[in-house]
Amino acid sequence: MIMFGVVWGKGKGNVKRLMLIALASAILTLLMIATPGCWSARELDKRAIVVAVGIDKAKEPGKLEVSYQIIKPAEVGAPRPARGGEGQGRGVWVLSTTGDSLFDAAWKMSNVAGRRPFWGHLRLILFSEALAREGLGPFLDVLARNPMPRRLAWLAVARGCLARSILEGYSELEKVPAETIMGQLEEYGQNSTSLAQTLHGFLLEMENPGQSPAASAVELVSKGGPSAPNDGESGDEGSEDVERGRAGAGGTKLVPMVRGAAVFKRDRLVGWLDEEETRGLLWVTNRVRGASIVVDPLAGGRGKVTLEIVRARSRIRPEIKGGVPHVTVEISASANLAEQATASSLYTIEHLHELERELASAIENEVRMVVTRAQRDLRTDVFGFGLTFYRKHPRQWKAMAETWEDAYFPHVEVNLDVNTRLDVSGLIGPALKRRMTGTGW
């Protein structure tokens, strides 16, 4: 407006121009006073900050129940501790709405919360197992299309319970329970036994040819450790308590825990990986950051040696021999000697080499386990072997592309080439010269 004043007033005498500018500014000021907070403006106290969202099937068929973890700023952000001894984890409000689609349900949230939901800080997206089994594709669209949710938000599947129960889970340390889950995901590299998947990574793996995606897996455990053996494929075996996320018998609180991985075929969940299998997956896809691996060179549990992986790299090399796809996975890992339970000194070159061999076979074991599982049981290429063929042998790939996962992948011969390297480190070299009476355990 001022601009037009300047443009049109130009050359008509300076005083006139000045008056035009003044007039335009006056109108602008009036506009500002009349419409405080135009179109896209919304005050912070009119927004409900959603940090995590959980998506379940609703009771009525064909509907979704979407749950949200909303931050209560007054509890979380206040410099002084909140009044009353409500304890930790109460900095959020978990509520749900139902709707025909994700967007539809989310759009109804303000009816419940009384504030417009704000998705800009959405950092954790949880899907229930049941939904994941039917295919996530339809729900991911809105997450990729809408500019508000972060593309780097974590994407996880609730194992053996509702997504809502996970959001209602307990956290001892954080006022916002989702922070605990995100912390677990961020720190996955400590032991590399869980997969940390982002929305971006999932979409990438889902869209790329010759690959099926995997997502993080979250389950509820009673405080202190896993509540019940939960190895079953279906996840339906969990007790009713766990299913509903209620506190277990004796008042134990249920804590969300990130463990293993959820494996998909295209966009459908087909199975869960346990901790070793997950690490196997991470070895192949070059995502191991660190791990502790226990080897037993003397066999029989008499002298466990714990190795700490400090660096790991891997590469998939596709080859087509005689029209048949082969894959070589090259893994190189460096480890430190972290702990030993024997009195015999391992501080010799020979011992080190032996330990390196042991480590290599341990890694190989883990990889073999998961590769066999994926090829035999799950029949899904979570490693992206097909993708490497698409990249390196695009012509041959064209013939295989359509039927890769069912016809070719299960029969791909996977060669492992594991290279390990051990650096003894720490403050002592040989074992302590003590009278070792313990026998290990």
Partner 1 sequence: MLRVATTLLDLLRARKKPGSKGSPRGRAGEPPVHVLRDVQANAKAVAGFLGEPQDLVTRTFKLGGTKQLECGVIWIDGLADKRLISRHILKPLMSGAFEAQADATAPRGNVLEFVRDCGISLGQLRAVCDLREVVSGILSGDTAVFIQTSGQALLASTRGWKTRDVEEPRGESVIRGPREGFVEDLRTNTVLLRRRIRSPNLRIETLTIGSAGQTQVAVVYLEGIANPKVVEEVWARLRRIKIDAVLSDQYVEELIRDAPLSPFPTVANTERPDAVAAGILEGQVAVLVDGSPFALRMPVTFLQYFQSPEDYYVNFHTATLSRWLRLVALLAALTLPSLYVAVTTFNPEMLPTPLLVSIAAAREGVPFPVAIEAFLMELAFETLREAGLRMPRVIGPAVSIVGALVLGEAAISAGIVSAPTVIVVAFTAIASFSITYPDITAIARLLRFLLLALSAILGLFGLMTGFIAVHIHLLSLRSFGVPYMSPLAPSSLAARDILMRWPLWARTKRVGYITWQDMRRQPATSMPQAPVRRKRM
Partner 2 sequence: MLEEGRISKRQFFWTIVVIIITMSMFRLPHLVLWRARQDFWLAFLMAIVLDIVVGCFLFVLGRRYRGMTIYGYSERVLGKLLGKLAAAAYVLLFFEMAALETRNFAEAFLLVMPETPIWVFATILVALAAYAVSSGLEVIARAAELVGPIVSLLATAVPSLTSNRIRPANLLPLLQTPPLAIIETGLVVTSFFGVCVVMGVLMAYVNEPSKALKVKAGAVVISGVLMMYGYTTAVALFGEEAFSSLINTHYNVARMISVRGFFEHVEVMILPLWTGAAFLAISVFYYCTSIGVAQIIGLKTLRYVVPSVGIAVAARAFLGFRSGPHMDRYVTGTLVWYALAVEACLTLLLLVVSTIRQRSDESGR
Q: Which stretch binds partner 2 (CB under 8 A): 101-109, 165-173, 387-395, 426-434?
A: 387-395
Taking the least distance from each CB to partner 1, the nearer of 15 and 349 is 15
Residue 349 in the binding site for partner 1 (CB under 8 A): no
Residues paired with 264 in a beta bridge: 269
Does 7 interact with partner 1 (rule: CB under 8 A)?
Answer: no
Q: Is 6 in the site for partner 2 (CB under 8 A)?
A: yes
DSSP string, 220-277: EEETTS-SS----SSSTTS-HHHHHT---GGGPPEEEEEEEEEEEETTEEEEEE-HHH
Q: Of 35-43, 52-60, 241-249, 336-344, which segment contacts partner 1 by CB under 8 A?
A: 35-43
Query: How far is it, in rounded angstroms, from Cα 377 to Cα 230?
Result: 18
In contact, 330 and 363? CB cutoff 8 Å: no
392 binds partner 2 (CB under 8 A): yes
Q: Residues binding partner 2: what is the number (CB under 8 A)?
A: 28
Q: Is 19 in the site for partner 1 (CB under 8 A)?
A: no
Question: Between 164 and 287, whose beta carbon lies closer to partner 2?
Answer: 287
Examine residue 44 and tell whether it contacts partner 1 (CB under 8 A). Answer: yes
- Tell me how far, at minimum, the Cβ of 198 lies from partner 2, in Å: 9
**Cβ atoms within 10 Å, residue 227:** 21
Strand 124-128 and strand 47-57: pairing? parallel
Per-position DSSP letters for 18-81, written without gaps between them: HHHHHHHHHHHHHHHHHSSS-TT---GGGEEEEEEEEEEE-SSTT-EEEEEEEE-HHHHT-SSP
11 near partner 2, rule: CB under 8 A: yes
CB of 21 to partner 1, least distance (A): 8
Residue 430 binds partner 1 (CB under 8 A): no
Q: Which one among 28, 173, 247, 298 touches partner 1, defined by CB under 8 A?
A: 28
CB of 208 or CB of 252, closer to partner 2: 208
Q: How many residues does the chain have?
A: 441
47 is a site residue for partner 2 (CB under 8 A): no
Q: Widest CA span of the chain, in angstroms? A: 103
State yes or no: residue 72 binds partner 2 (CB under 8 A): no
**What residue 407 binds from partner 2, partner 1, none (CB within 5 to 8 A, per partner kind)?**
none
Q: Is 302 in the site for partner 2 (CB under 8 A)?
A: no
Of the pair 235, 386, the CB lying nearest partner 2 is at: 386
User: Residue 390's binding partner, choosing from partner 2, partner 1, none, with beta-carbon cut-off 5 to 8 A by kind?
Assistant: partner 2
In our burial notation (b when 16+ CB lie closer than 10 A, e otherwise), range 156-168 reads bbbbbbbbbbbbb
CA distances from 336 to 47, 305, 347, 358, 426 (A): 49, 11, 12, 13, 8
Alpha carbon distances (Å) from 40 to 120, 144, 151, 239, 321:
14, 21, 22, 47, 59
What residues line the site for partner 1 (CB under 8 A)? 2-3, 14, 17-18, 21, 28-29, 31-32, 35-38, 40-45, 47, 49, 51, 71, 73-74, 76-78, 118-121, 123, 148, 150
